[in-house]
Amino acid sequence: MNNKSLVVLNECMFSREQIEFLRKHFFRTEFYNDTYSPALAAKRIKNHNVVIMDQFLLTLDESVFKQCRGIELVIVNTTAYDNLDINLLQKYKVKLSHLKEYATNDVAEVGFGMMLALNNRIEYAKRIVSEQGVTDLFPGHPAIDRLKRKSLRGQTVGIVGLGKIGSRFADMCLTFGIKVIAYSRSSKIIKGIKLVSIKKLFKSSDIFFISQVYKKPEMDRFISAELLNLAKEKAILISICHPNLIDFDFLIKNHRKFSGIGLDYLVTSEVLKLSKVRNENIIITPHLGSQSEEAIFNMTDSLISLAVDFALGKNIYTVV
């Protein structure tokens, strides 16, 4: 046991065994699953040294750091950390760590599954069976025009953001015989993938997969109305990124621009508005990609390693 204390402010899916492990490795530990306000966070952190939290459920403002001078490290249970004020952390000399990777394959699988379902118009085919009683399709059937699709093989997928998830998604596409082009903010050479400008990507792709890292505010509406307008008519748009990255005003006003839309991240008010004006061939899921058993274990195990290693004085990766 070390001389550091730990507080978990929101449910992080730790197992009983993991909770007991943490209790044994910190001289004091407290676990909560409903910390949503800075005022409540300050009361619960008190003199704890290590804080594990969910950045989507809680924002730490300056009042927390003023009241809790014992904080040494904040760990978020996601790869993203854009809701935390880096300047505040630096001002109060608090380190920040996040998960560099834990659900890469899982998120890419969900994106790929969306692409299969949207391209094959599975949702509409299911509806005409359950709602219209259609038992078979035959030449001249009125539903055929709405079910026509192109084979994925030979289509071009444009990937925006060639990080771990984007690269894994590209691997899956290449295995299916799908052409892959990509836009990356950093120079990369990956076999089978042609790097192009973002404008050329939007002009040339049949399917878009958005996996660009989001940093606010400079990345707000990075996928702009101008870029979206360049897309081919009836292309498919899939994003596993923060909705703020995309110009949703354009998508809402031009909801028939794309033949299919798939979104797996936060279901914001903008996402809900889009779902109200467009009710066909759209898939909206709430962070489904990170919910596999393997991803949850990777997340919790990584959080434990970061917290314990820091408490033992070992070097860990930190943003600040």
Residues 18-70 pLDDT 10s: 999 999 999 999 999 999 999 999 999 998 999 999 999 999 999 999 999 99
pTM as predicted? 0.93
* Cβ proximity of 254 and 275 under 8 Å: no
* Average pLDDT, integer, range 139-156: 92
Nearest to 193 by CA among 183, 208, 203: 183
Q: Give the domains, in start order, of the chain with CATH numbers.
A: 5-102+293-311 (3.40.50.720), 104-289 (3.40.50.720)
Residue bearing tokens 């996601």: 78
Q: What local confidence, expressed as pLDDT, does residue 301 receive?
A: 97
Counted residue by residue, the chain has a size of 320
Assess whether pLDDT exceeds 90 at residue 2. no
* Segment 293-317 mean pLDDT: 96
Q: What value does the mean pLDDT of the chain take? A: 95
